[in-house]
Amino acid sequence: MDQQSKDPLHGITLERLLTILVEKHGWEKLAGEVNINCFKSDPSIKSSLKFLRRTPWARKQVEELYIRDVEDSSNKSDSADYTVG
């Protein structure tokens, strides 16, 4: 029986998740969404990963932002299937 996880974080590393968010939103928007200095002051993937791995509340906020993005994307693609052209 092949049963896929419904968890949107299943199989994705924190590094990949962060890279996707930075590519989609940029550091400035991420800093607005999650108020942490590593997104505001000389941001980098490496420094952000170090902070997020040591700070559970910040990691949770970043993961929740990613999940919202995934859900928004799937909702938009579902509604696109029903548009009349």
Q: Is residue 78 part of a domain?
A: no
| DSSP state for residue 11 in the 8-state scheme | T
**Mean pLDDT, residues 57-63 taken together:** 96
Q: 3-state secondary structure string, 56-81? A: HHHHHHHHHHHHHHHHHHHHHHHHHC
Q: Is residue 75 part of a domain?
A: no
pTM of the model as a whole: 0.79
pLDDT digits over 4-29, tens only? 667 888 899 999 999 999 999 999 99
Question: Percentage of the chain with pLDDT > 70?
Answer: 84
Least confident among 13-17, 24-28, 68-72, 79-83: 79-83
Q: Which domain holds residue 19?
A: 14-69
Q: Which amino acid is at 54?
A: R
Domain with residue 22: its CATH number is 1.10.720.30
Structure tokens at 13: 């590393």
**Mean pLDDT, residues 24-39 taken together:** 94
Q: Is residue 6 part of a domain?
A: no
Q: Is residue 35 part of a domain?
A: yes
